[in-house]
Amino acid sequence: MQLPIVHHPDYDAKFAADHRFPMGKYGRLMEVLEETGIALRGSVFRPQPADTDLLSLAHAPDYVEQVIACEVPHAVEREIGFPVDERVSRRARLATAGTLLAAELALEYGIACNGAGGSHHARRGGGAGFCTFNDVAVAASALLDRRQVGRILVVDLDVHQGDGTAEILMGEGRVMTFSMHAEKNYPVRKVPSGLDVGLEDAMGDDAYLDRLDEALGALAAGPTPDLVFYNAGVDPHEDDRLGRLSLSDDGLRRRDRAVIGHFRERGISLCGVIGGGYSRDVDALARRHAILFAEARDYLR
């Protein structure tokens, strides 16, 4: 069976090659997945842009309208880290719809991945930290609203704390949010998740994986979710410009295997999103993101 993958060419908003946000990684990731035989004909699904009603399940309607109209206030654009023009707006709508589509595919096939997503700093009222819309929060809200699931778990292993996801989903008793991140990294003001594990800087593979194993054990003691959203950001890597941890490629692989195996071996559906990664070497960065897809392929039903 082939791994369901969601992708759209317009995930790449065509930033300059020297931009702080390495936009070219999305297209290169798909090339790597095709080169390695992970993305096959018939296994790649293309989303349509998310509409106002869908986005407003997790975001303030006035902010949604600002993004769609490309009229985001300059102060909010500064928080996001780049102007919201037509390509950025389209990209944000596509990536958000892509995570929802990947989640629905995961419910059908057991596991699926979006070739973008993990924009976990966007809050209800506005974007931040290179995140325009919070795709996981939108997708989770939609699935609950449509009664496609009864309980959701968000596992966020991006190096930065998932403050936006925690803020949007706070008080939603059907969603458990978990973030394991570098404690001294962005954002300065963190929003409490259901479970937060703040790590000290320069933590290597073995110590990191020990802490992850403890956290997964704690989560297993709680209610069983119908679906897990897994943010597999690769910015904990030792070569990442914006991370403060020291994971190797092998450490990322062991991390993804541990998370995916933990849930799939219990029969729980999992939707993977790629999260952050900020190396200037776009090829190396895309290959790190591809680890998620390689590990996911081994856990199909």
Residue 41's identity, in one-letter code, is R
Distances, alpha carbon 270 to alpha carbons 72, 99, 104, 196, 265, in Å: 33, 11, 10, 20, 11
Q: Which residues of the chain have pLDDT under 50?
A: none
Q: CATH no. for residue 112? A: 3.40.800.20
Angle between helices 25-35 and 282-297 (to 10 degrees): 50
pLDDT (0 to 100) of residue 301:
63
Separation of CA 238 from chain center:
20
Dihedral class, residue 205 (left if φ above 0, else alpha if ψ from -120 to 50, else beta): alpha
| pLDDT tens profile 93-103 | 999 999 999 99
**Residue 107 in contact with residue 227, Cβ under 8 Å?**
yes
The domain of 284 spans 5-297
pLDDT digits (tens, 9 = 90+) for 283-300: 999 999 999 999 999 998
Please report the pLDDT score of residue 89 as a whole number.
98
> Would you state the pLDDT for residue 1?
77
Number of domains in the chain: 1
Q: Looking at residue 300, what is its pLDDT?
A: 82
In the block, tokens 């404690």 appear at 183
